[in-house]
Structures are given as C-alpha cells and as structure tokens.
Amino acid sequence: MLNNIHLNPFAISNLLIIITCLPLSIVVFILAKSKLTKIYSLQLFCTTFWGIGAFFASVLNSPLSSFIWWKIAYSSVIFIPIFFLHFISLLTSKYNRLLLLFSYFQGCIFLIMTANGDMFSSTKFMFGSFYYCQGGIIYICSFFIWMFLISISHYLLIKFYFSNKESEYKFLLAASISGFSGGVSNFLPALGINIYPIGNFIIPVYVPILAYAILKYKILEINIVFQKGFVYSILVALITSLYFIFVFLAEKLFQGMFGYTSLIISLLYAFLIALFFIPVKNRIQHLADKIFLGKDPIQIAKENELMKQELERAERLKAVAHFASGMAHEIKNPLTAIKTFAEYLPEKKNDPEFLNKFSKIVSGEVGRIDSLVHQLLDFAKPAPLNLQEINIHSLLDDTLSLLSNDFLKHNIKIEKNYYFNADLRKSNADTRGSQICENPREICDHLRLKCDSNKLKQAFLNLFLNSIDAMPNGGTLTIETTVHGPQTTEKSMDYRPSTMDNITITITDTGCGIPDKDLPHIFEPFYSTKEAGTGLGLSIVYNIIKEHKGSLRVESSKLAGAKFIIELPITED
C-alpha cells in the first residue's frame, strides 16, 4: 500500500491545504451567523476540494486516474472566485446583481464542460514526478474570466479598506492576496508553461492569517468563545499533521536508501522515526502553547477556576441584591406600624390600654425586622449545606413575596397549585388528583423537607428571575407541587432510597421559551442564551438541587414558555 503512493513536493503542498482549510471551513460554516459568513465558508470548502483533487491527481501513476482527479479539482477551482466575489459584494455593500449572475452562469457552464471532459485535452508527465492536466482554448477562457473576477474582488476590497482603515480588513486583504497569488501558479503548467507550481505552498499561509483576524478582530462575526478553540485546534492539527508527513517521508527515504519492501519493516522504521522525533514535536507543541495562549496550560486552568469562582460569587451577590430589595419592601410594613403608634404616643401616653397594645405591637414588629435582617445575613453568608426540616410551601411563598415588586412591574400573574395528602409522610400513593391546598401554611404544614432553606431559596430565586426575564411584557408564572412515589429521572442521578416519597415542584412560565438546540446545554456552566448573562444561574440551581439529592429537568420549546421540574425527597417519620 505504501509503495503505491508517490509523494512529491506538489502533493505535500496539497496536503497542507487540506489540513489547514478543511477544519477552518467546517467550523466557519457551523458557526456562521449570516449569509456573508456562509458564502465565505463555501469558498474555503472549494479550496479544500482543490487540495483533495490535486493531491490524488499528483500521487497516482495512471494518466487516466490522474485526469479524473484533475477534473474534480478544477470543478472546485471554478467557483473559488465566484464565492469570493459574492462575499466581497456583501461585505462592501457593492452588490452588482448583473456581475454576480454572470459569474454564477459562467461557473455552471464551465463546470458542465469540465465534467464532459472538454476543459482539458489530456494529461502530461511533468517535472519528472506527476501527471498534470493540459488545457485547451476553453481552459484559457476560463483562466482569464477567473483572473477577471479575482481582480474585481480585490479592487472592491482594497477600495473598501482604504475608505474604512480598519485592521481586520487589512488582514483579510493580506490573506486573500497570499492565497490567490499562490493559486495563480497552478494554472501555468496547464497552459504549457514549464514552471513548477511552487506557489501552491503559499495557499495554506492565508489560513493562519485569517484565523488570527477571526480571533483578534471578530471578523466573520464568529463568537470569541469558539474562536480560540478552533484556531488553536487548527494549529495543533497542523503541527501534528506536519509531524506525520515528516515521519512518512523519512520512512520513504530510508526505503529508497536500503531497498527493503516489507510492510512490517516499513512500519517498524516508521515507529522508530516517530519515537525519535516525539521530543521535537512536543517541544514545538509547547512553544505553540506559549505563543498562542501566552501562558502555561496549567496556569490557564488555575485562572479559569478562579474566574469561575468569581463569577459564582457575582451570581450569588446578584441573588442577594434581589433578596435585599424584597426585604426592604417587607421591612416597610412593620416600620409603618411603629411610626403610626409613635405618632399617637404623645396624645395617649397616659392610656394604659394603648401603652399595652403599643408595647406588644412594637415588640412584635421589631422582632419581625430583626428576623428579616438575620435572614438576609444568613442568605448572604457562604456556608456549607445546613439541613433542617422546613415547610416547602412556606419557602416558596417567602421567595415569591421577595419578588412581588418585580412581578407587578412586569405585569406577571402568579398562580399557585399546592397539592397535599392527609397522611403524606406515611403513604407512597400518587396524589396528583388530590384536593388543592388553599392555605398551604396551615393545611399543608405537615409537608416538610430536610434541606438548606437559604440554598433552596437561592435556587427558587434564580428560577423565578429567569422566568421574569423570559416575560418582559407580562405573562403567567405557575408554581405547582405534587407528591408521588419513587421515580428515577433521566436528567440527573437519583440518590433517593426506594421507599421514600418525592415532591415535584413545577415552575412554568409563558415566556419566550428555550430553543431545542439550547436545551441539552442549559444547565452547563457558562452556557448562556442572554447577551449579558454569565451562564451560571441555572448551573447553580442544578448543583443546589443535586446537593439535596434531588433532580432537575426542563421542558420547553421556542415561543411556548419553559417548565422547570424539580424533584426532592420528603422527610419520613
């Protein structure tokens, strides 16, 4: 198998084109947010297919096989200037419909001629290494139109750059000039000019230039989170591929020197060469890490962990701010009562009944304020999980009351459907059809969970705030509780014993919903669908529920609202 592949410098240059262009074209196409970016990704795909076709055409010994691959390669070359012109027209807003129609029309005509075998007359063994296609009059016409489209595109790009003077367009211009200047040399042997297509080595140069522009200047509108990942991946792939190409060529050189033909010996030599040059490859890789990332990977990992902790603290402070805002509203009521009694005190200071009533009410209201302040301090203070028996309905009501002003401001209606069962802690029966609990603080007082009230309050607060953000123009927020037997959920691990009842808390809004593509990632850290979001709100909720040996899942679709379903274990007697 190794003996049937005849590598040469031209074939190696095509391998470099494939290695550099293919990853970039795939990532740009996947992350494309606009027509502009998608069109450019098509140009990158055409360049990749040129590399694939030209590689096989230059390594095969058969003139017929080489001829077929040259047709495949040139079919993509025809459309490279067309997609580039379309891209530049959109970028510069110089959209000449007639010129674009002509470019696509001639491209389709030349594609048909290439497929029918009219573009090339034959192949010729050149440079003592490979067969190269030989063009006729149709090929010459195609070449001049190709050059015309490229010239028009670069004229528009240069004019656009000098009118804007923005750095990203300078890099785009440098990348395109390097790529197309290298590509022109590939036409010469087909036109009968005996000059080696060494310019093919220049084509891969435009990929790192373009990648740098994408990374630094956000050109092509690709998100920065993905930019560093895919540019670095291209760099790693390039280094690794060059390493394997070097190993392969070294093995072929040894084969020519010593004359062996055994596949086993070839593999053994390749292994020894690879083993010997691993330190060199690792050194280059480490150097790339330092140049590209600027720091050691271990140092970057530590900084990322510190950044995550800072963002988590910021998310918690955001929750504390909302908590404090709600507390301020709650404190107003007892202060109003104290103020009212204080105003009447001078007039009724000799009235024993008034003084007795004043003493009781003021004492009670001060105690209420003291309790609220302590709740705020406990909520704001980071602490390990502190499990205590609480009434889940009371906790939900308290959290909702903290956001009452936000609900009024956004015209959001609250609906509560709290279900209960007379012998809840002793029965595993499903109670979905039970009577609705009208007064959860009294009738459902037996519905108690062993949990950390502050952490669970933060989880509910984050979910309610998420629903408020989803309903800027108003809507309905529904909180429902049901009790049922043991159930294992698909979304998270289930820690519950088989004999324990579970309570399901369903929080449903009528907001904008969550697109299907985002649902699998919604609980992942730093994954956010909001422009100003940290991506930690729902991740924190998920971790809190998991700490309580519960489960959390979401059901939603775009424009149909979202439903968050929490399952928690109920305390048993």
Residues 6 or more apart in contact with residue 499 via CB below 8 angstroms: 428, 486, 572
The answer to whether residues 182 and 50 touch, using CB atoms and an 8 Å cutoff, is: no
Q: Do 191 and 111 reside in the same domain of the chain? A: yes
Q: Do 179 and 234 reside in the same domain of the chain? A: no
Q: Do 473 and 513 reside in the same domain of the chain? A: yes
Nearest-angstrom CA–CA distance, 91 and 435? 63
The parent domain of residue 274 ranges over 224-294
Nearest-angstrom CA–CA distance, 520 and 132? 50
Check whether 130 has a pLDDT greater than 50.
yes
Q: Do 186 and 209 reside in the same domain of the chain? A: yes
pLDDT tens figures, 426-482: 333 333 333 334 444 444 455 567 888 878 888 888 888 888 888 888 899 999 988
The residues facing 568 across adjacent strands are 503
Spatial CA neighbour of 208 closest among 236, 188, 181, 166: 236
- Last residue within a domain, chosen from 238, 273, 294: 294
Question: Where is pLDDT greater, at 561 or 539?
Answer: 561
Question: Where is pLDDT greater, at 363 or 378?
Answer: 363
Q: Do 177 and 323 reside in the same domain of the chain? A: no
The CA distances from residue 40 to 30, 47, 85, 163, in Å, are 12, 11, 10, 22
Rounded to the nearest integer, the mean pLDDT of the chain is 75
Q: Do 109 and 203 reside in the same domain of the chain? A: yes
pLDDT at 49: 93
Q: Do 333 and 197 reside in the same domain of the chain? A: no
CATH number at residue 138: 1.20.1070
State if pTM tops 0.75.
no
- Give the single-character DSSP code of 185: G
Q: Do 373 and 408 reside in the same domain of the chain? A: no
Q: Do 419 and 486 reside in the same domain of the chain? A: yes
The answer to whether residues 214 and 220 touch, using CB atoms and an 8 Å cutoff, is: yes
Q: Do 290 and 321 reside in the same domain of the chain? A: no
What's the number of domains the chain is made of?
A: 4
Check whether 314 has a pLDDT greater than 70.
no
Q: Do 21 and 103 reside in the same domain of the chain? A: yes
Quote the percentage of the chain above a pLDDT of 70. Answer: 60
Nearest-angstrom CA–CA distance, 379 and 377? 5
- Last residue within a domain, chosen from 294, 328, 354: 294
The answer to whether residues 429 and 421 touch, using CB atoms and an 8 Å cutoff, is: yes
Q: How confident is the model at residue 37 (pLDDT cuts 50, 70, 90)?
A: confident
Q: Do 108 and 182 reside in the same domain of the chain? A: yes
Which run of H or E residues covers position 377?
Answer: helix 352-380
pLDDT tens figures, 153-203: 999 989 888 887 776 778 888 888 888 888 999 999 999 899 999 889 888
CATH number at residue 331: 1.10.287.130
pLDDT tens figures, 526-546: 566 665 555 567 777 888 888
- Last residue within a domain, chosen from 273, 294, 315: 294
Check whether 53 has a pLDDT greater than 70.
yes
Quote the percentage of the chain above a pLDDT of 90. Answer: 19
